[in-house]
Structure 1
């Protein structure tokens, strides 16, 4: 049976919490209690908080015991800023990614998200919002580097499939996962059923420069989507003045119309998990607000088929919205 608003898995990212790799199990439990108190029943073990791939068996058991005691599940891990084509650290990142898959299997994790974004530069780390300064860029038109990405990600995908884990690739600016067309091409070149896309379009609409239209981007990638980091941003543009500004926003208030986007995703067959994210302020509480918004817009049990029918009749919602906004 397809998911409905009552049972669709919606996870909390652990981005709002500081690094806790060497914390005690009791300290981990405290974080998981906060997440549970915010109304979540599941977490994405974001590795900016704890890196499961760098824990030994005993510590992995402690981690599992902590989130279980808090009444949570951990069906996903997001491994971030560990690009397997990093010129300096690519081989180490590949080995770490394999360890993360092994740890995921030990924990019973269902989905692991990888990406090609690299560590923040020193200049990015000095900004209030790191995305206001450009970071690493994958070399455009470099066949050798592209093939390396395909080869190494395929290797990870094969390992994931052997472990019964779904692998997803997070979209991120200026990487080979930085546009809709490039992301689709990369997944198709990898060519594994276990490997899909995580269309974190929020990573792209926040850029202080011209961007790909989020409606067109999602239309391309949603048929390949198997996991979804969701966040939103307020955005203002004045191209004549060269002015582009973006700030974090709750999911229902930002520039991305997730009501329309989720409808199109379901129409395309999406039945993956959502992970709610937010930068700044009380990120956990905003993530909880985002979760509640998703619950409201997802199809109800008694209206699922009717909802799918309506979506099929309005498959061009996103395009129509763009035309309407351009005419306004």
Structure 2
């Protein structure tokens, strides 16, 4: 095949190996526990079985387990070993644990959240998970009315709400957590997450620098930073800033528009293809910074499994067919 004048392309060379793997984020399965409340359900072996088999048959390499779907904090060691065996039997890795919104300062649940994170390190080790995701945000209650949810959007916490002392206290706690995690071969990933102290890339990176541990990096969850109702950084700027320190990546998307009547932004969930965030561009930029870790898809809404399957196929095509072209 001939490209530009004087350049010969051999299709056999438009290939390449990558260690990038794709996980299904079980945040999208949380509604399947209904009417059991979030954060306290433990799906049984039989309840998990069809989801795990479907995930593997759909081409995913692993799962990213959220405690909104499975309360691993209260599971026994025997139950956790059973879960790991079940994952092994279908050929899925547990790539990460994702404890829900665990701010560790300036909140009534701060001490409890810190305990949850240390427990999560132990569980990650038992399940063979490489990463523990850190969403340092304010927790929602397990059940909220539409009115309560709407009101919450007007009082979202932001990075500038936290003092230097708050950041130092958080960094000190995360250093201890990272040191414990290192003994279990677990890495921490500080997530870009709204409604907390890392709602913009500068704050996630500041905390990463302050923690200063080799097993700590960042997770540029772009939709989290983009979906907020107030003006914020461009998602491209966030990605470029965080790319060199990225060790784990949550992906999902949305559309966002300014509402003149309210002076605020309104966002709605969308697929990776249809949302405002260009994931071909984002993946390319991470690839340029040698990212070759786990990507966890958090797409949802409606039939979440249908949505996430389509987004998996899209992302897989980028990895197989687009990224090799970047090596020419």
Asked whether the two chains share a fold, i.e. TM above 0.5, the reply is yes
Counterpart pick for 1:217 among 221, 238, 259: 238
How far is 1:7 from its partner?
5.7
Structure 2: stretches of 5+ with no match in the other structure: 1-14, 34-39
Q: Secondary structure of the equivalent of 1:102?
A: helix
How far is 1:132 from its partner?
4.4
Counterpart pick for 1:10 among 22, 33, 55: 22
* Greater Cα offset, 33-42 or 150-159: 33-42
Partner of 1:252: 273
- The answer (yes or no) to whether the contact 2:301–2:307 under 8 Å persists in 1 is no
Q: Secondary structure of the equivalent of 1:176?
A: coil
Q: Distance in 2 between matches of 1:243 and 1:144?
A: 31
Change in 2 beyond 3 A, CA 1:129/1:260: farther
- The answer (yes or no) to whether the contact 1:10–1:42 under 8 Å persists in 2 is yes
Count of residue pairs the alignment pairs up? 305
Q: How does 1:64-79 map to 2 (within 5 A)?
A: 64-79=84-99
How far is 1:34 from its partner?
3.5
Partner of 1:242: 263
Change in 2 beyond 3 A, CA 1:150/1:248: same
How far is 1:308 from its partner?
4.0
Q: Secondary structure of the equivalent of 1:280?
A: coil
* Greater Cα offset, 181-190 or 21-30: 21-30
Q: Distance in 1 between matches of 2:162 and 2:110?
A: 19
1:294 corresponds to 2:315:
yes
Output the TM-score relative to the length of structure 1.
0.84
Q: Secondary structure of the equivalent of 2:249?
A: strand
- The answer (yes or no) to whether the contact 1:6–1:295 under 8 Å persists in 2 is no
Partner of 2:167: 146
Partner of 2:284: 263
* Greater Cα offset, 173-182 or 257-266: 173-182
Counterpart pick for 2:215 among 183, 194, 199: 194
Partner of 1:82: 102
- The answer (yes or no) to whether the contact 1:16–1:282 under 8 Å persists in 2 is no
Q: Distance in 1 between matches of 2:321 and 2:19?
A: 10
Q: Secondary structure of the equivalent of 2:29?
A: coil
Q: Secondary structure of the equivalent of 2:28?
A: coil
1:35 corresponds to 2:55:
yes
Q: How does 1:38-57 map to 2 (within 5 A)?
A: 38-57=58-77
Change in 2 beyond 3 A, CA 1:6/1:86: same
Q: Distance in 2 between matches of 1:166 and 1:64?
A: 19
Q: Distance in 2 between matches of 1:234 and 1:117?
A: 22
Q: Distance in 2 between matches of 1:136 and 1:25?
A: 38
Change in 2 beyond 3 A, CA 1:90/1:128: closer
Q: Distance in 1 between matches of 2:235 and 2:251?
A: 13
How far is 1:49 from its partner?
0.7
1:192-246 Cα offsets, whole Å, 9 max, x none, are 1110001111112112222211111111111111000000111222568725221
- The answer (yes or no) to whether the contact 2:137–2:197 under 8 Å persists in 1 is no
Q: Distance in 1 between matches of 2:149 and 2:304?
A: 14
Output the TM-score relative to the length of structure 2.
0.84
Where does structure 1 differ by over 4 angstroms across 4 or more consecutive aligned residues? Answer: 3-7, 121-125, 127-133, 136-139, 238-241
Alignment RMSD (CA, Å): 2.7
Partner of 1:316: none
Q: Distance in 2 between matches of 1:139 and 1:211?
A: 12
1:46-70 Cα offsets, whole Å, 9 max, x none, are 1111132331111101211232333
Counterpart pick for 1:165 among 170, 186, 192: 186
1:175 corresponds to 2:187:
no
